């Protein structure tokens, strides 16, 4: 898009004023579209609402957005507890949900997706389940690594870096269930100690 804008601007330089106006108008429209795309990409990378409204509200927003664009029903169930989350945990959870929903949209042909959030004093659990086509997990992970597609592997690594576990259960024709579990008590205590 930026290359097209650059091309139009160079073309407009050599045109008389009135003839250049439609070309510059087109550049203005393209710049608006580019700005919209950059804002959307930034929002996908790290939505500011994670900091303002928290993980639960952000997951609900992501589910609603996916439902509008993805064509399947997405439900969010459960609630997060009162124990404060370490700052890197919400973004990791957001990424797991985001990648799971992207995979559902690209591959699953699902009609329904269920996202469950559960938190107690020591563990945060996140489950994303769908009623889609399902897949052979071992084969998919091997093929993904060979082709440079690291969706499931990237999710597992992100969760492991925070001391958590990621379980992926799926079979062809039986949908998929992804569960991420994160320990929060020890990490929250470490944060409280470092703040003192």
> Are 161 and 72 within one domain?
yes
pTM here?
0.70
> Are 61 and 7 within one domain?
no
Q: Report the pLDDT averaged over residues 29-36.
A: 82
Number of domains into which the chain is organized: 2
> Are 69 and 146 within one domain?
yes
Q: Report the pLDDT averaged over residues 163-181.
A: 94
> Are 16 and 78 within one domain?
no
> Are 15 and 67 within one domain?
no
> Are 33 and 123 within one domain?
no
> Are 80 and 123 within one domain?
yes
> Are 15 and 112 within one domain?
no
For 47-106, the pLDDT digits (tens) are: 778 888 889 999 999 999 889 887 899 999 998 888 888 888 999 999 999 999 988 988
Q: What's 156's domain CATH number?
A: 3.30.565.10
Tell me which residue of 147, 165, 170 sits closest to 155, measured CA to CA: 165
> Are 104 and 34 within one domain?
no
End-to-end CA distance of the chain: 50
> Are 14 and 102 within one domain?
no
Burial class (CB in 10 A: 0-12, 13-18, 19+), 94: buried
> Are 74 and 136 within one domain?
yes
The pair of structure tokens assigned to 135 is: 């897949």
Alpha carbons 63 and 117: distance in angstroms, whole number: 13
CB of 159 closer than 8 Å to CB of 92: yes
For 100-132, the pLDDT digits (tens) are: 998 898 888 899 999 999 998 899 999 999 999
> Are 153 and 76 within one domain?
yes
* Ramachandran quadrant class, 50 (left: phi over 0; alpha: psi -120 to 50; beta: rest): alpha
**Enclosing domain of residue 70:** 48-195
The pair of structure tokens assigned to 158 is: 């992100």
């Amino acid at each position: 898009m930026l290359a097209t804008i650059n091309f139009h601007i160079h073309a407009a330089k050599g045109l008389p004023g009135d003839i250049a106006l439609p070309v510059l108008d087109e550049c203005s429209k393209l710049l608006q579209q580019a700005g919209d795309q950059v804002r959307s990409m930034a929002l996908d990378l790290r939505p500011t609402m994670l900091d303002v409204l928290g993980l639960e509200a952000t997951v609900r927003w992501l589910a609603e957005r996916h439902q509008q664009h993805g064509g399947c029903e997405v439900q969010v169930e459960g609630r997060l507890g009162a124990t404060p989350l370490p700052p890197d945990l919400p973004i990791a959870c957001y990424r797991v949900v985001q990648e799971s929903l992207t995979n559902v949209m690209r591959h699953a042909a699902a009609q329904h997706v269920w996202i469950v959030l559960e938190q107690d004093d020591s563990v945060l659990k996140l489950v994303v389940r769908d009623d889609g086509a399902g897949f052979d997990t071992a084969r998919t992970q091997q093929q993904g690594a060979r082709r440079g597609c690291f969706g499931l592997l990237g999710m597992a690594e992100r969760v492991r870096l925070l001391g958590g576990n990621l379980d992926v259960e799926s079979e062809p024709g039986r949908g998929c269930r992804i569960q991420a579990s994160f320990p929060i008590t020890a990490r929250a205590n470490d944060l409280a100690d470092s703040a003192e």
